[in-house]
Structure 1
Amino acid sequence: NDEQVKLVFSSVAPPQDGLYRATASLLLDGIYLGPINDTGVRKDDPNDRFPHEDRRVLRALKVFGAFTNQTDIRIDNSLDVYIGEDGEGYVEHYLLDFGEAFGGHGAKHARLWDGYTHIFSFGEMLGNLPTLGLRSHPWEHIRPTPWKSVAAFEAQYFDPLSWKETYPFEPIQRARDDDNYWAAKIIAAIEREHLERLVSAANYPEPGAGEYIIETLLQRRQKIINSYFELVSPLEYVALENHRLELKDYGKIYLTPLPRQTRYEVRFYDDGNREIAEPRWIEGNASEAELAIELSAQLLRQADDYLRLEIRVWRGDVPAPRPAAFHIRADKGNAPRVVGIVH
């Protein structure tokens, strides 16, 4: 009723133009089963077979959260919903409560450190003890933006590698470099046009606020790419035809500045982890991201029809911390095919 609406409005700052801005969530269809645990599996869901702490889509929330500074990632902000008739349906998984992204969570609680440390950290506490709290932190230099609709959302001090959710979330704590690279590839696919359309739909009320959000997200995007593409060999499968493996070096597409001289170290292993051929070095073309590796029939026979290629990217004299592995199977009478990729 009107009294309840007035009570809600009484707890927020009065608007200058007579308009209140709010967010609303639609009620989800189905039977509510409760939140998604960050470890183990849901015992009443036969499709839930892999421990949640080992699921890439949950581990990769570190990168997705860092992009928008969505720090409020926790069990309470998730929900499993059963869809369908009893015994004939399935469980859908939802992440909820994104209303405090883009610096909103920190602004709500007056926390400029939001995204820079957990709500409680022994490491931070021990680091502050010797200096009695006088140690300088990057977040101490952050200043609120001039727009009320933006809060302290920035890219200058943002470091994707050290970004932290407010409450430790077990899948994020277990995230590996290949999990984070997988998420960074998705972030890399977001272009200015996508952000312009999203920001336009948001209807930021203050002039300049929307453009600031776009530029800040683009800068955070690039920092994410530069951080996580350098921790792996960012090679992606294109095709395997006529014993020719074609790959694409995503580093040459997305890294800024563009990589210096690139070389590729290729090693060949069989299913027993025996190296079956001399390493091969391929010089990269400075202007092209494509890479091709010839695989002879003899090489596949030596591998007993299961070949593992490990390809390590070198930028100048600096090797990538880990190679990309391409598993190739060549059953007798069938053309070789890629059956697995590990970054």
Structure 2
Amino acid sequence: MDFRSRRLGYLLAAGTVLGLGACAATPRPFPAQPPMARDTDLRSVYVPCRVEPSKKDPNHIVCAPEAYVSPLVWDAANNSLFRPLARVFAVDPAGEATNVNSFDEVADSAWFTNRMGIRPIGIEELMRGACEPALMLDDENAQDGTWVIDQGKPNGASPGFRVNLPGKGKYMFKADSKEQPERPSAASVIGAAAYHNVGFYTSCEQIVYFKPSVLKLTPGLRFEDNSGIERDFNKAALDKVLDIAAKRGGRVRMQASAWLPGRLIGPFSYDGTRKDDPNDVIPHEDRRELRGGRILAAWLHHFDAREQNSMDSWIADDKKNPDSSPGYVRHYYLDTSDCLGSEWDWDAISRRLGNSYLLDFGDIGQDFITLGIPTRPWERMKRSPGHEIFGYYGVDEFVPDQWKNEYPNPSFSRMSERDGAWMARILSRFTPEMIATLAKMGELSKFDNTEYLAKVLEGRLVKILERYLLRLSPIADLRLDGPNRLCGTDLAARRMVRDPRSFHHSARLSNGANLPVSELTNGDFCVDLPPTAPATYVQVYLWDAVAKGALVAHLHAPNGQRGYFLAGLERPDPGN
């Protein structure tokens, strides 16, 4: 059953309850069925075929969506200028996300796979990210001339080249900048691991240290630079890239990004749908994972979260023929190298990143009205002495719900309190040990930089949890422990967002009757439910004495079944 069918079922169920109000006093908004766990956009579909000539076959047939090209200048202008102006005259209230199931979560889909939000993630899995063992490079034992360069890096801020390794596949190698050595590659690996473990599809990112002699340059290569001019990628161009890269003991440090599987068909947009994908039916700006991604981006300072840093891939059922149907489109987040404090050449812009859009009409208007007298956050920004490679990435001036990316993102702009709280519940599962591990994954030369990075990641996360776990209920992981015992985990208590002594759990039925609660450890607690009767339906309200909002659990006791069935969860907004 897809999301639209499920919502229709809810409406029909609610209509039935209203029509039978004289016979049943308790509303039943949730049917007695499990939440939707898998989106139908993972099903294989057919798309029309077309002739798309290739170098090897002028009559090559492609049965996949066409590639979408996203010009950076147009995307920036559209979201900074044209879209805001259009919305002035539009009747388009930003409601709640539409791909949310009956447990206030999102299903596994072509966009998102529930990982740490539903099960424990170990340190080894955290570090692996999207890198399967077969994709890991053995830079220590690589033989001379075995890493074949078959393409120059076409564009982007980081210089690099593509390497083709027989039996491994293709990798894009990118060098760090001289201005912030080691930060871009560290950010790529740490950011990709964070995005992957949260649940997004990402590329496999790893840091490699290799001898220049392992490279073999294919003659006659060309590449297109940022200005669109085609140039030779020869030994001089290669030497220039290697000269920029950081070094350690005669070895070159670079970031290696494994090529994505399938047929690449261009980036996804943060609004609308892909018209040539039959599975793509929910407007992207109304998808919770894309909206809630704003909180993850704020944590990592991923201000460059825009459609050019994403990629759609057609995953054909026939792995030997990636251009064939049936298949489905998978959506990837790419390039987190601008996370953790990337800077522009213009310091005034670097200070504003995260605090103001590049073209921010709200800030322009406020400066005009106030004559620019009030001190703005970016005027207080300071680099941490000794940790300049992280630019202005810090904790003191970070305000989670005021964070902004480079220019408006349609999905981020529509994020609701529920979307932000959903992402915060997932992020709360990053323990201090896991955050320390993320920092170590950057393989930074200076231990002080690793310690500083862990401190900033933890500090920014604490601010996020304080903002988004203390309004709507942070209680999650509800499960039935026996026929009449409901248990849950208070994520705010587990992450110690407040003094543990502040948390005290209570429960009552919708009729006001209090229920016994047993406090366990590590934020866990259980509630004793009343005995069931045939066709019983109850609503249990749960509080933790810290968050303003309650969690409402809807439970059935269907005829012929012993014990309760958890049908749905709600987190009512308590207001300001």
TM-score (norm 1): 0.83
Q: Which residue in the other structure is 1:295 paired with?
A: 529
Conserved? CA contact 2:431–2:495, under 8 Å:
no
Q: Which residue in the other structure is 2:568 paired with?
A: 340
Counting aligned pairs with the same residue, the percent is: 26
Q: Distance in 2 between matches of 1:192 and 1:330?
A: 40
Query: Of 365, 373, 376, which aligns to 1:137?
Result: 376
Q: Distance in 2 between matches of 1:287 and 1:14?
A: 47
TM-score (norm 2): 0.51
String of CA shifts for 1:290-317, please: whole Å, max 9, x gaps: 433333246x66xx544333434433xx
1:190 offset after TM fit, Å?
1.5
Q: Which residue in the other structure is 1:28 paired with?
A: 260
Q: Distance in 1 between matches of 2:544 and 2:376?
A: 34
Q: Which residue in the other structure is 2:484 paired with?
A: 243
Higher mean C-alpha deviation, range 332-341 or range 75-84: 332-341
Structure 1 letter corresponding to 2:512: E
Q: Distance in 2 between matches of 1:248 and 1:36?
A: 35
Conserved? CA contact 1:37–1:75, under 8 Å:
yes
Q: Distance in 2 between matches of 1:143 and 1:170?
A: 30
- Residue 64 of structure 1 aligns to a residue whose secondary structure is helix
Q: Distance in 2 between matches of 1:220 and 1:339?
A: 35
Change (3 A) 1:265 1:130: farther
Conserved? CA contact 2:469–2:492, under 8 Å:
yes
Q: Which residue in the other structure is 1:309 paired with?
A: 540
Q: Which residue in the other structure is 2:418 paired with?
A: 178
- Residue 178 of structure 1 aligns to a residue whose secondary structure is helix
Q: Distance in 1 between matches of 2:408 and 2:289?
A: 16
- Does residue 118 in structure 1 map to residue 357 in structure 2? yes
Conserved? CA contact 2:428–2:491, under 8 Å:
no
Change (3 A) 1:266 1:166: farther
Q: Distance in 1 between matches of 2:389 and 2:359?
A: 28
String of CA shifts for 1:180-223, please: whole Å, max 9, x gaps: 22221222222233233333332212341111001111111111
Within-5 A mapping of 1:31-110: 31-84=263-316, 85=318, 86-104=324-342, 106-107=343-344, 109-110=346-347
Conserved? CA contact 2:421–2:472, under 8 Å:
yes
Structure 1 letter corresponding to 2:285: E
Q: Distance in 1 between matches of 2:527 and 2:519?
A: 14
Q: Distance in 2 between matches of 1:286 and 1:197?
A: 28
Structure 1 letter corresponding to 2:483: N
- Does residue 160 in structure 1 map to residue 404 in structure 2? no
Higher relative contact order (CA 8 A, sep 6+): 2
Within-5 A mapping of 1:192-211: 192-211=432-451
Q: Distance in 1 between matches of 2:505 and 2:528?
A: 16
Query: Of 347, 351, 366, which aligns to 1:127?
Result: 366
Q: Distance in 1 between matches of 2:310 and 2:246?
A: 32
Change (3 A) 1:280 1:120: farther
- Residue 508 of structure 2 aligns to a residue whose secondary structure is strand
Change (3 A) 1:109 1:64: farther
1:226 offset after TM fit, Å?
1.1
Q: Distance in 1 between matches of 2:393 and 2:408?
A: 21
Structure 1 letter corresponding to 2:373: L
Conserved? CA contact 2:517–2:525, under 8 Å:
no
Query: Of 325, 330, 341, which aligns to 2:552?
Result: 325
Q: Which residue in the other structure is 1:3 paired with?
A: 236
- Residue 185 of structure 1 aligns to a residue whose secondary structure is helix
Change (3 A) 1:22 1:261: closer
Gaps of 5+ in 1: 269-276
Q: Matched residue pairs, number?
A: 326
String of CA shifts for 1:34-71, please: whole Å, max 9, x gaps: 21121232233233332212222111111111111111
Conserved? CA contact 2:291–2:419, under 8 Å:
yes
Change (3 A) 1:79 1:267: same
Within-5 A mapping of 1:212-231: 212-231=452-471
Structure 2 letter corresponding to 1:266: R
Conserved? CA contact 2:515–2:529, under 8 Å:
no
**How well do the aligned residues superpose, as a CA RMSD in angstroms?**
3.0
| Larger of the two Rg values belongs to structure | 2
Q: Distance in 2 between matches of 1:203 and 1:14?
A: 12
1:24 offset after TM fit, Å?
4.3
Change (3 A) 1:13 1:141: farther
Structure 2 letter corresponding to 1:88: P
Conserved? CA contact 1:261–1:284, under 8 Å:
no
Structure 2 letter corresponding to 1:91: V
String of CA shifts for 1:275-334, please: whole Å, max 9, x gaps: xx2253778869873433333246x66xx544333434433xxx61x3222222222112
- Residue 330 of structure 2 aligns to a residue whose secondary structure is strand
Q: Distance in 1 between matches of 2:291 and 2:261?
A: 26
Higher mean C-alpha deviation, range 238-247 or range 65-74: 238-247
1:22 offset after TM fit, Å?
4.3
Conserved? CA contact 2:296–2:423, under 8 Å:
yes
- Residue 23 of structure 1 aligns to a residue whose secondary structure is strand
1:166 offset after TM fit, Å?
1.5
Structure 2 letter corresponding to 1:256: V
- Residue 130 of structure 1 aligns to a residue whose secondary structure is helix
Q: Distance in 2 between matches of 1:233 and 1:64?
A: 19
Q: Distance in 2 between matches of 1:212 and 1:22?
A: 22
Q: Distance in 1 between matches of 2:400 and 2:352?
A: 14
